[in-house]
Structure formats: structure tokens, C-alpha cells
Structure 1
Amino acid sequence: MIVYNVTVNVEHEATEEWINFMKNEHIPEVMATGCFSEYKLLRLTQEVADHAGITFAVQYWCESLSILNEYIAKYAPVLQEKHTKKFQNKFVAFRTILEEI
């Protein structure tokens, strides 16, 4: 299994709206692509001192790297743009790809 991990630090003031957006719009849209079999939305319990917001990780599980690459090429740009427009200047994010051992 491959895990597509998206780590996002969200400003405190936008956190509630961000969580609602993720649960009700973004994650369902990502899952509707058919590229992932499951997901987890997690919150970092120990905040990093130099970050102003709250840090979350969204983990999407898929069967193979080729499926993930298909998602990244076909679906990710539009979904990421929608997220960025909605929360512009209220978050920072980075993505990592993990392999289950």
C-alpha cells in the first residue's frame, strides 16, 4: 500500500471552517476519484513552537504508486486549486509519499 500524506498547518481562526470543508467537500471529492481505498484525518497533538496554527495530516491509502501518479496527474491540480482559493494565506501544506512495509 502507498500512503499519500498531506500535512497542513491551518491558522487558528480558520480551523473550524477548514475541518468542515475537508470532511464535507474536499475529502469526499478526493475519494470520489476512485484512486484511494481509505483515508484518515489526523491532528498533531504536540504543536510546533514556530507555527502559528494547528497542524493536521490527511492520509489517503492507495494500492500502487501508479494509481497515485494517476491521481496526481489527473485530479490533484483542480482539487488543490479549489482548496488554495478557499483558504488562501491561511495555511501551509506539504505532501509526502509513504510505502507500507
Structure 2
Amino acid sequence: MIIYNVTSNVDNTIQEKWMAWMMEDHIPKIMEIGKFYKIKIVKVLTDHHDEGTTTYSVQYFADSREKLNEYYNDHSPKLRAESAGLFGDKVLQFRTELEIIQEFKSV
């Protein structure tokens, strides 16, 4: 399994608008595409971000490299452009890919 992680440093002046867009528009669109079986939005709690911003990590779970690549090739450019058009430099992002090696759960 692959986690496509997008970390977003969101200016507090647009934080509510950005979160509403994520919940009501962006995430539903991505779920409809069918390349990810789960998406998590988490707030980064460390103090290592710029003052006046809030940092979030959005984790998109794909069950194969092929599905992630299909997302990159067929959908990502349009969705990134949409985000940039709406929020410009008020949201700074970086992306990472994570491979799940083993998952442990309490019984």
C-alpha cells in the first residue's frame, strides 16, 4: 500500500475557506475518481510552522503504485491547478510518498 501525503501550510486568513473546500469539494471529487480507498485529514500539532498559519497533512491511501500513477497522470494536474487558482500562495504544499511496510494494531 502507498500513502500519498500532501502537507499544506495554510494561512489562517483563509483556513476556514480552505477546510470547507477540502471537505465539501476536493475530497469528494478525489473519492469519486476511485484511485484511493481512504483519505485522512490530520492537523499537525508541532510548533514548527510559520506564525499565522496552520499545517495539515492529507493522506491518500492507494492499494497499488499503479493506481497512484493513474491519479498522477489523469487527475492530479487539474486538481493542483484548481487549488492554486483558489488559494494561490496562501497555501504552501509539499508532497511525499510513503510505503506501508507493516501495520500493528492493539487487540
User: Does TM-score exceed 0.5, indicating one fold?
Assistant: yes
Q: Tell me the CA shift for residue 16 of structure 1.
A: 0.7
| 1:22-37 correspondence to structure 2 within 5 Å | 22-37=22-37
What is the correspondence of 1:7-26 to structure 2 with a 5 Å cutoff? 7-26=7-26
Flag structure 2 segments of 5+ consecutive residues without an equivalent.
Answer: 102-107
Task: Give the alignment of 1:56-95 within 5 angstroms.
Answer: 56-95=56-95
Cα drift, residue 67 of structure 1:
0.8
Query: How far apart, in 1, do the equivalents of 2:21 and 2:42 lie?
Result: 15
* Identity among equivalent pairs (%): 37
Q: Deviations over 1:2-61 (max 9, x none)?
A: 100000000011111111000000011111110000010000011315x23110000010
Amino acid at match of 2:90: K
TM-score normalised to structure 1 length: 0.95
Provide the secondary structure at the position in 1 that maps to 2:35.
coil
| Aligned counterparts of 1:42 and 1:80: Cα–Cα separation in 2 | 19
Structure 1 unaligned residues grouped into runs of 5+: none
CA contact (8 A) 1:6 1:58 kept: yes
Partners of 2:33 and 2:20 in 1: CA distance? 20
Number of equivalenced pairs: 100
Post-superposition CA distance 1:82-101 (Å, at most 9, x none): 11100012010011010001
Report runs of 4+ in structure 1 exceeding 6 Å deviation. none
Aligned residues of 1:47 and 1:55 also touching (Cα < 8 A): no
What code does the residue aligned with 1:21 have? W
Specify the alignment match of 1:44 in structure 2.
44
